[in-house]
Every structure is written in C-alpha cells, then in structure tokens.
C-alpha cells in the first residue's frame, strides 16, 4: 500500500477521480462561456488582450473553486457533527435510531433489507456514543485539496488560451479557442463517463453539443 500511495499524484492524493473530472468540466464550461461572450463584452480587441483576459478569468475561477471546496468540506463535516450530537442527545435508543434512520435510510434502502439497515443503525449509534465530539474547523487537508482543485482547473483550461498567443487575428483565435474548448469538453465527458454507468460517447457528445450551443448562440448575437 505504501508504494501505491507514493505513486499517487498531488491531485490524486486530495481529490477522487470523479471530483477531478467534475472540476475540469465546470472549468471548461465556465471558460467557454467567457470566451464565447468576450467580444460582446470587450468589443474589438487584440489577441494578446483576450489571452490575458482568459488567463485572468481562469485564475479567478480556480481561486473561487478552491474556496468553494473548503466551504463544502467544512459544511459536510458540520452536518456529520450535527448528526452525532443529535444521536448523543437522544433520550433513548429508539429516538437515536430515528435520527440515524432519517440520515441514512434513503441511501441504504436500495442496498439492504430493513433488518440489515437496523443493524447498521445500531452500529452507528454505538460508534457515535463513544466519540468525543470536536468543533469543526478548516484542516490542512482542506487547504491542500482546495489548492489541488483550483490548480487542476487552471492548468487544464490553459490550452484554451494558446490560440490567442499563437494567432494575431483576434476573431480567428477566438473561434479556434472555442472549438478547442468544445473538443476538450468531449474528451473530458468521455473520460468522466468511465466513472459512471453512462455511455462514454453519449456523455462526451452531450458536453460537446452543450459547448456548440453556447458558441452558436453567441455567434447569432454577433459575438
């Protein structure tokens, strides 16, 4: 196990694959929305200015994404703490069972019989009653995971800015940038579907069509 952990990347150590792929998808959609409307917002401008605008937007999204990751992690732990406190304050065993069932029944019902679920609830109660509850706070892992999340989005979407660096014609660079982002959406959707029961090609195609629709609407509006 030690060797396997050593081979994990920084991103893999703090984000599971579904989180990583979801962050990339959201980042690509956000940047595509920005590049698609850039000329509507900025008017006639240079490729260089568009490049820095895309990079700045991408960086801002990475920072926001990292902050939201921290808030989400703290919220999830707070919810677990509230559940544990409710179990410990329950006046009797049945009240404690009702608390745990209310939190877990929806998840466990498709997987277990009623007797099995009840047994799990008793295990949870026994575990929680022996735990000393502590105040929820931001941890070092939260900070590293937030950094991984923001950095992953920033680095992944950087290729979208390349056309503005390589092509002087801002309009042409913008269209190529949009098409590159759409292609990346298909690739990421295809990979993401591998973590689900969804057809890979269908998932990639849906994200590709979403990207094309965003570009088409912008072009129709004069962007």
Q: What would the pLDDT profile of 25-39 be if each residue is shown by its tens digit? A: 777 877 777 776 665
Q: Please check the confidence at residue 161 and state whether its pLDDT lies above 50.
A: yes
Q: Are the C-beta atoms of residues 200 and 193 closer than 8 Å to each other? A: yes
For residue 192, tell me if it sits in a domain: yes
pLDDT score recorded for residue 36 = 67
Q: Is the Cβ–Cβ distance between 152 and 59 less than 8 Å?
A: no
Instruction: Please report whether residue 157 resides in a domain.
Output: yes
Report the candidate in 132, 134, 97 with the shortest Cα–Cα distance to residue 118.
97
Q: Answer whether residue 39 is part of any domain.
A: yes
Note whether residue 6 is domain-resident: no
Neighbours of 57 (CB within 10 A): 19
Closest alpha carbon to 187 in 200, 178, 173: 200
Average pLDDT of the chain, as a whole number: 81
- Please say if the pLDDT value at position 22 is more than 80: no
Q: Residue 61: which of 191, 180, 141, 152 has the closest Cα? A: 152
First to last CA, the chain: 53
Q: Are 185 and 29 in contact (CB under 8 A)?
A: yes
CA gap 87, 77 in Å, rounded = 15
Average pLDDT over residues 174-184: 85
Which residue is listed with tokens 């006046």? Answer: 91
Average pLDDT over residues 198-221: 76
Structural domain contains residue 2: no
4 lies in some domain: no
184 touches 28 (CB < 8 A):
yes
Instruction: Give the residue numbers spanning the domain of 111.
Output: 16-218
Q: How many domains does the chain have?
A: 1
Tokens 């893999």: give the residue.
Answer: 12
Assess if residue 57 is contained within a domain: yes
Domain assignment present for 178: yes
Q: For position 144, what pLDDT does the model report?
A: 92
């Amino acid at each position: 196990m030690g060797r396997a952990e050593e081979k994990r990347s920084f991103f893999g150590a703090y984000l599971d694959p579904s989180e990583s792929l979801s962050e990339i998808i959201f980042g690509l959609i956000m940047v595509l929305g920005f590049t698609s409307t850039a000329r509507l917002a900025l008017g006639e401008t240079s490729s260089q200015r568009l490049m820095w605008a895309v990079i700045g937007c991408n960086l801002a999204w990475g920072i926001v994404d990292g902050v939201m990751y921290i808030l989400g992690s703290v919220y999830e732990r707070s919810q677990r703490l509230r559940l544990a406190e409710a179990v410990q304050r329950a006046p009797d065993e049945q009240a404690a069972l009702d608390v745990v069932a209310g939190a877990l029944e929806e998840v466990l019902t498709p997987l277990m019989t009623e007797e099995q679920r009840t047994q799990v609830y008793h295990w949870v109660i026994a575990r929680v009653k022996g735990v000393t509850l502590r105040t929820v706070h931001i941890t070092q892992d939260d900070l590293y995971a937030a950094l991984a999340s923001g950095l992953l989005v920033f680095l992944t979407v950087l290729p979208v800015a390349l056309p503005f660096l390589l092509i002087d014609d801002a309009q042409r660079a913008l269209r190529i940038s949009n098409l590159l982002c759409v292609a990346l959406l298909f690739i990421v959707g295809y990979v993401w579907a591998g973590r689900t029961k969804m057809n890979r090609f269908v998932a990639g195609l849906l994200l590709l069509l979403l990207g094309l629709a965003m570009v088409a609407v912008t072009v129709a509006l004069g962007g």
